[in-house]
């Protein structure tokens, strides 16, 4: 029996942060660790050129993302890892999907609507500074998913709409041609980690400038964690762990026993924010140190990363070529 296909990607638009780690990388690796899925993980470099216009910076980010997956435990012999740009069939499917995507659907995309809202707040025209890459982002994401017959797509809560749009587009094509040309995907959300809190209490995001880089070394990591926003309560005052940015991050790394112990200290009073942040540093550093060491070893050996991505591209193109041949025949341009 064929395994179900699990696919996910990450954009190389900045150094990976804890939101990426808990929102995409760790859940995906957890899902594929037992071998139940045919896992296909990619670096979404086409998506990144909407914002990254420096070629050297983009190349560096691609290496960083690849090194991140590998250092976090991805086995390239068992999981397909490839660059999106190494699979030009993605762009051919993207063209086909465009022909079946209503403009109104794109108007409802969260990223586009958010950009329009920001323009209105600044009294700019609605589409000021908005390129077609951002506007049609959900179609390219649909091509990423549908090209590889993904059954399941692990995503953060803010990406659910994009998977739903991929379903809508695939269903339109299947209905038009009267056959199941494209697999209808389902999204997977880890309810425990779907929202990773940033340093200011908002969702951790590169665009908010509140993210914590995944591979900070010990001193910079401790310095960054000490900048997490807290309230002005005095040391002797009891504190509520459930409304604390520090504790929200602590829960992601700590055991249940550790969480209960620190929560009790919060509620008892007599604990300052410096102590809470120190406790946070200990659990964060304990988990990240082994993968951080491996990450820097990989970044010093980019030839290995190149070889992994080259082999991944060859396998990915073989799969993608078959899907495009099927699509070409179905739509009449073979």
pLDDT in tens, 211-251: 999 999 999 999 999 999 999 999 999 999 999 999 999 99
Using an 8 Å Cβ cutoff, are 181 and 173 in contact?
yes
pLDDT in tens, 258-290: 999 999 999 999 999 999 999 999 999 999 999
Res 28: pLDDT = 77
Helix (H) or strand (E) holding 6: strand 4-10
State the Cα–Cα distance between residues 144 and 161, nearest whole angstrom: 15
State the Cα–Cα distance between residues 160 and 154, nearest whole angstrom: 9
State the Cα–Cα distance between residues 145 and 184, nearest whole angstrom: 9
Could you tell me which residue, 20 or 237, shows the higher pLDDT?
237
Say whether pLDDT at 83 is over 80: yes
State the Cα–Cα distance between residues 313 and 297, nearest whole angstrom: 23
State the Cα–Cα distance between residues 62 and 56, nearest whole angstrom: 10
The 8-class DSSP code of residue 23 comes to I
The model's pTM: 0.84
Res 155: pLDDT = 82
State the Cα–Cα distance between residues 200 and 209, nearest whole angstrom: 9
pLDDT in tens, 177-201: 999 999 999 998 866 555 789 999 9
Res 1: pLDDT = 57
Residue with tokens 């988990």: 287
In DSSP terms, 81 is beta-bridged to 41
3-class DSSP state for residue 16?
A: coil
DSSP-assigned states of every residue in 152-192: EEE--GGGHHHHHHHHHHHHHHHHHHTS--S---EEE--TT
Question: Which residues contact residue 83 at a Cβ distance below 8 angstroms, ignoring those fewer than 6 apart?
Answer: 42, 43, 45, 62, 309, 312, 313
pLDDT in tens, 99-151: 999 999 999 999 999 999 999 999 999 999 999 999 999 999 999 999 999 99
Average pLDDT, the chain: 93
Res 162: pLDDT = 94
Res 33: pLDDT = 74
């Amino acid at each position: 029996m064929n395994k179900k296909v699990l696919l996910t990607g990450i954009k190389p638009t900045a150094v990976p942060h804890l939101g990426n780690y808990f929102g995409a990388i760790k859940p995906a690796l957890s899902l594929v660790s037992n071998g139940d899925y045919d896992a296909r993980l990619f670096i979404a470099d086409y998506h990144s050129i909407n914002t990254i216009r420096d070629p050297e910076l983009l190349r560096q980010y691609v290496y960083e993302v690849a090194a991140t997956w590998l250092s976090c435990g991805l086995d390239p012999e068992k999981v397909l890892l490839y660059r999106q740009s190494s699979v030009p069939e993605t762009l051919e499917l993207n063209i086909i999907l465009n022909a079946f995507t209503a403009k109104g659907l794109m108007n409802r995309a969260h990223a586009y609507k958010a950009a329009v809202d920001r323009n209105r707040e600044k009294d700019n025209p609605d589409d000021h500074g908005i390129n077609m890459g951002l506007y049609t982002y959900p179609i390219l994401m649909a091509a990423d998913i549908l090209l590889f017959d993904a059954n399941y797509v692990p995503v953060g809560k803010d990406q659910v709409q994009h998977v739903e749009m991929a379903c809508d587009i695939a269903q339109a094509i299947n209905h038009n041609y009267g056959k199941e040309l494209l697999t209808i995907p389902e999204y997977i959300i880890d309810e425990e980690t779907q929202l990773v809190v940033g340093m200011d209490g908002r969702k951790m995001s590169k665009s908010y400038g509140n993210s914590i880089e995944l591979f900070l070394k010990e001193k910079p990591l401790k310095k960054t964690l000490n900048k997490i926003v807290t309230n002005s309560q005095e040391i002797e005052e009891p504190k509520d762990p459930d409304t604390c940015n520090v504790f929200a991050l602590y829960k992601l790394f700590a055991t249940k026993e550790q969480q209960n112990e620190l929560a009790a200290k919060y509620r008892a009073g007599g604990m300052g924010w410096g102590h809470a942040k120190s406790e946070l540093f200990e659990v964060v550093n304990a988990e990240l140190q082994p993968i951080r060491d491996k990450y820097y070893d990989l970044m010093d050996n980019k030839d290995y990363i190149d070889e992994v991505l080259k082999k991944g591209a060859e396998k990915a193109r073989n799969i993608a070529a078959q899907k495009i041949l099927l699509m070409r025949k179905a739509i009449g341009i073979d």
